[in-house]
Structure 1
Amino acid sequence: MLFLGATAAWLASCTLAASIVPRQNNDTDYKIGNITLDTPWTSTVGTNPWPEYPRPRLQRSYWKNLNGVWRYRNAAEGDLGSPPFGETLEDPVLVPFCLESALSGVTGKGPNGRIYSWYQTPLEIPSDWPSDNSVILNFGAVDYEATVFINGRNAAFHRGGYFEFSVDITPYLNANGTNELMVHVYDPTDQGRTQIPIGKQTLNRGGMIWYTPCSGIWQTVWLESVPSEHISKLDLSADMDGKVNVTVHSSTNSSTLVKVTIYEPHSQNVKATATGSSGTPFVFTVSDPDLWYPDSPTLYNITIKFGSDTVQSYTGFRTISRRAIGGVQRPLLNGKFIFPFGPLDQGFWPDGIYTPPSVEAMRFDLDVLKRVGINMVRKHIKVEPALYYKACDEMGFLVIQDMPSLRPDLPDKNGGCGIIRLEGPNEQAEFNRQLALLIEQLKSYPSIFAWTIYNEEWGQATSPPWPEYPLTDLVRSLDPTRLVNAVSGWTDHRAGDFDDNHHYSTPQCGTPFWSTQGSGPEGSDSAYDKSRIGLQGEFGGIGQYPPKGHSWYTDLNRQTSYELTNSTEDWNYRTHDLLNQLREQTDLFSCSGGVWTQTTDVEGEVNGLITYDRRIIRMNETLWKQDTTALYEAAARRSDTVNATQYAAIVDRSVDGIQVGMP
């Protein structure tokens, strides 16, 4: 077998060398905190992290990155009423790394977490910015509630740990140019009966699937200079027929002339121009666009002019839909059945926790996946920085974007030994609000393929009326251009576009057999639902103990997975076997996509395609490329209507004389 020989050669070839040029290192009292496990980029971060323009879909020329060394103080309940204005806070903190991370310099979650925190930094407005412009302060994400003060005045409040927000700070700035920014952060992760969207974060829950929490500022903070009337939000989509749909939202909610210019790919030659009005959608058509596919992710740069405001953006022309082919519901990209296959992508880092040490580090994971032919990632109950989605757009990844889950394990209200999934209507309403924020923030990225509302019943009401039905309608009303995975795993009441099965380690994708584990009320877990797309939402989870020095925990008892193998050769044998099973289920049944667990090891989970420190790639890349290609070839055999209906007559569908096969 291919994967049982020459292991040393290919393993050596996929071990990453740290050859990254260090960024600037200013003279400060900041230093990296106590670190459990580093990556090849840890020592190169310096004190000017993430210097790239952070919002690629709405770029302006006048901007200033505020990442770097700020001041920090651990706060207490009630401190918001007496902010420490004018004081110099005691500790350095490196923004944008969450407080629990080594790269923040603060490091450590404390016995009750980082519940209350103060951040502080001076603000200097560049002297060459137009004096009659407004100054906007932008935050990529702050977990969980942020109260923003400028020069001792309360300028803004934001709730939601995964979502960007902006503040017009012009009225609060001093004429002499000396300004102070302070941010108070409240993060109630795992506090009492608090139930908020937190994904995989935890303070003290046991088990292999919960990880170090992330508190505070964890995405880029920046200033920009804008005209007093400016573009506040841009919604942009383009389909396979060349139809471009644009909505320009203005800071004043006015109806003003907008001019859109689209350029040829990799060129300044104009492809098309159009005009419309802000505040309402307008549609125009571009002739003969090159379409966006994973293997040819063509993007078009765009300039949008609105009064005296000019922004740069981009789009890709593609259409996502579904229909029956040979009696089987299939996901379509540009009218063609595409088989989305890729890993559960958790986005955790041993040095930065939620924040990769750099854009280069973030793209490394995607580069590895692309080399083996993977065309999809399931972004698992986390939202990434905007530059992640830009990378997926550029590299050709379909993204199944999950909504970050509510805390799923509240103790029983009545003192029983069980747990409840949803605390009450207020928690449901806040989840719904933040789900809408997710859609609005990300819906213009071409790579987004589908939205996931619930993962494995976490925070999902377990008695009717089932919330996934109105939430599916909500998502479709905000974004009718994507598919909706209402429930990934269980409990499934047949809302949305996917019948999504989770099963470790073997797949059960669109098959006439299924596991009864985790079954809920009648009708919630059953055989494949032929009215929807069959998706293996999670499977695999094959693990291997990393070599010494490459794991989060040194104690083998704290390193685990759904299955463990003795060696890299054995790991590749087992993964090949499971991918072959998924291919057979595509050939024989109604499988239309698969999600492998997972991109990297994460803390106690040692089932990654790559180790947590990103230094060792477990995959025999030649074999994995062959296996992913075989999946796509099987899907292609089922993609033609004639072939799909006649395929049973072509393929040998007997096992020990028993006929098996397509529905």
Structure 2
Amino acid sequence: MWYQRTFTLPAAWAGKHILLHFEAVDHQATIFVNGQKAASHAGGYDAFSVDITAWLAKGANSLVVAAYDANDGRTPSGKNGPRGDYTFSSGIWQTVWLEPVNPDYIQTLRLLPDLAGQRLKLDVKAPGAARITAVVFDGKKEVARAEGTAETAFYLPLANPKPWSPDAPFLYDVKLTLTAANGRVSDEVMSYVGMRDVQLGKVNGVVRPLLNGQFVMQLGLLDQGYWPDGILTAPTEEALKFDMEYTKKAGYNLIRKHMKTEPQRFYYWADKLGLLVWQDMPAIWYPNEDTLATRTRFRHELKAILDDHYNSPSIIAWVPFNENWGAFDVVRITDWVKRYDPSRLVNGNSGFNNNPSYQKAYGDPKNGDFVDTHIYVGPTKASEPDEKRAASLGEFGGVGLFVRGHMWPVENNAYAYEPTKAALTDRYVFLLDQVDQLMRYRGLSVAIYTQTTDVEHEVNGLLTYDRGVEKMETDRVRAVNQAVLQAGYELATKKD
């Protein structure tokens, strides 16, 4: 696929370095500026940037992007691969923009909250040994300040920090100033941080995930992020936000972002609205053979995705593999993710009890932080915790309802069906009553219902694919969800 456009830089950008940012291009991208190759990148779900200053001319400039996707199953592609269930897409599918910067500028920033230590760890990448000043604000009030050096991690003390949680998603603003060797301020960056802590612990003798030291039942929706017009691309930021606000309105506190990543604005709204996120790694398929090159591509993009979204407090768990799809070295990769980012939980092979017909099942990796099964319709026979891992039901439900005039023009399907909105709501309330029992008496800590919206032939969403109809009685869905979450809070009375 080829893309071409011309652009003229504003006069105010004269003398600046010009960065060209891509949030995602599927899969191989080659960038040409004024007829000359400026850069190339491989990876369909991670962001990259190019300094195009050397290739720019005065006046109009030509930008050409060549995007190539072999669609052979040997690159991370999620549901968008050769065995994908939905319409295939490729090319530029996330945001592209230009940014002017000085020669010395802040290139990357890592923020790691330490709630118990009442401090914030900062790791800033910038040219040379530039001086970094970090200031934290609560609203307009400065509450902390520290100085450090680029390329060397430093800490910013933050007394009595306000914790981030779904019920109170408080975000501190963070301002970073880079002072170059000549003493001049060369760059300023605004960001934010949510002070939260995620780990496992025992509650009444049961291993459970703890948020800020307390068990919070994780009740969420499987969210595939598909759209009737843009496929993987939402039509607007408001559309992205609409799905998330509906999730919150319906009483959930978690989204499992399934088999894809989203633009950074999605994670901003999760941070802002107070929605926990489980982030999947898009699967590989390799239907013909498993090769070293395939595995190398997967590992490279997995690391890139972890780096891209490291600063989002809403992301509390990484999911490297799903239902054994394209799985390899599951134990090693699960351990590597946990070492690389110990601040989050890891679900190494969600739904290890399921398996595609073309590949041997890896089964339970017996490491990571969750014993995770998928049960349709469920939720009975969900996994139970062991001595080191919490129990999660990574997928269940999937009960469908036909809504005439709002269905994709193919044969539609679901795991089960109900004839009316009221009946579907009754069925959902019954399933959540069972989740409540599993949480209380079998140690279940996470339940993720399939799914936020219908997706093409699948009619098991809470919303139709066009987002035009709420398929359940939302007030009743919210009431039973909140009852389960409240029961979880009541369980969290004692931590061993």
TM-score, scaled relative to structure 2: 0.94
Residue 443 of structure 1: how far off its partner (Å): 0.9
Superposition pairs for residues 239-638 of structure 1, below 5 Å? 239-241=114-116, 242-250=118-126, 252=127, 254-264=128-138, 267-307=139-179, 308-407=186-285, 410-411=287-288, 423-461=290-328, 467-490=329-352, 491-508=363-380, 511=383, 529-547=386-404, 549-553=405-409, 555=410, 558-638=411-491
Change (3 A) 1:199 1:472: same
Equivalent residue for 1:182, pick from 38, 61, 64: 64
**CA offsets 1:172-225 (integer angstroms, 9 cap, x no match):** 111x22211011110111x3xx4111111146x4xxx71112211011111111
SS in 2 for 1:539: strand
Letter in 1 for 2:120: V
User: 1:509 touches 1:582 (CA, 8 Å); kept in 2?
Assistant: no
Residue 142 of structure 1: how far off its partner (Å): 0.4
- Which residue in the other structure is 1:29 paired with? none
CA distance in 2, matches of 1:472, 1:135: 38
Residue 470 of structure 1: how far off its partner (Å): 2.0
Letter in 2 for 1:199: G
Residue 639 of structure 1: how far off its partner (Å): 1.7
CA distance in 1, matches of 2:477, 2:48: 40
Residue 336 of structure 1: how far off its partner (Å): 0.4
CA distance in 1, matches of 2:382, 2:68: 44
SS in 1 for 2:470: coil
Whether 1:231 aligns to 2:114 is no
User: 2:383 touches 2:393 (CA, 8 Å); kept in 1?
Assistant: no
- Which residue in the other structure is 1:200 paired with? 79
SS in 1 for 2:79: coil
Residue 272 of structure 1: how far off its partner (Å): 1.1
Change (3 A) 1:152 1:503: same
Change (3 A) 1:316 1:509: farther
Question: What is the total number of aligned residue pairs between the two structures?
Answer: 479
SS in 1 for 2:367: coil
Residue 510 of structure 1: how far off its partner (Å): 5.5
- Which residue in the other structure is 1:147 paired with? 30
User: 1:140 touches 1:165 (CA, 8 Å); kept in 2?
Assistant: yes
Letter in 2 for 1:235: R
Q: Which runs of 5+ in 1 are unaligned?
A: 1-116, 414-422, 462-466, 513-527, 645-663
Residue 497 of structure 1: how far off its partner (Å): 0.3
Bigger mean CA offset, 353-362 vs 617-626: 617-626
Residue 498 of structure 1: how far off its partner (Å): 0.4
CA distance in 2, matches of 1:197, 1:373: 32
CA distance in 2, matches of 1:255, 1:439: 26
SS in 2 for 1:244: strand
- Which residue in the other structure is 1:45 paired with? none
User: 1:330 touches 1:337 (CA, 8 Å); kept in 2?
Assistant: yes
CA distance in 2, matches of 1:238, 1:293: 13
Residue 424 of structure 1: how far off its partner (Å): 2.1
Q: Which runs of 5+ in 2 are unaligned?
A: 180-185, 353-362
User: 1:509 touches 1:534 (CA, 8 Å); kept in 2?
Assistant: no
CA distance in 1, matches of 2:200, 2:225: 29
Change (3 A) 1:511 1:143: closer
Residue 323 of structure 1: how far off its partner (Å): 1.0
SS in 2 for 1:550: coil
User: 1:509 touches 1:535 (CA, 8 Å); kept in 2?
Assistant: no
Residue 232 of structure 1: how far off its partner (Å): 1.0
Residue 511 of structure 1: how far off its partner (Å): 5.0
SS in 2 for 1:388: helix
User: 1:511 touches 1:585 (CA, 8 Å); kept in 2?
Assistant: no
CA distance in 2, matches of 1:637, 1:298: 23
TM-score, scaled relative to structure 1: 0.70
Letter in 2 for 1:161: G
- Which residue in the other structure is 2:12 paired with? 128
CA distance in 1, matches of 2:146, 2:204: 41
**CA offsets 1:475-524 (integer angstroms, 9 cap, x no match):** 12321110011110012121200000100001146556xxxxxxxxxxxx
Change (3 A) 1:292 1:509: farther
Letter in 2 for 1:551: M
**CA offsets 1:5-58 (integer angstroms, 9 cap, x no match):** xxxxxxxxxxxxxxxxxxxxxxxxxxxxxxxxxxxxxxxxxxxxxxxxxxxxxx
SS in 1 for 2:422: helix
CA distance in 1, matches of 2:483, 2:44: 40
Superposition pairs for residues 60-75 of structure 1, below 5 Å? none
Whether 1:222 aligns to 2:97 is yes
CA distance in 1, matches of 2:9, 2:479: 54
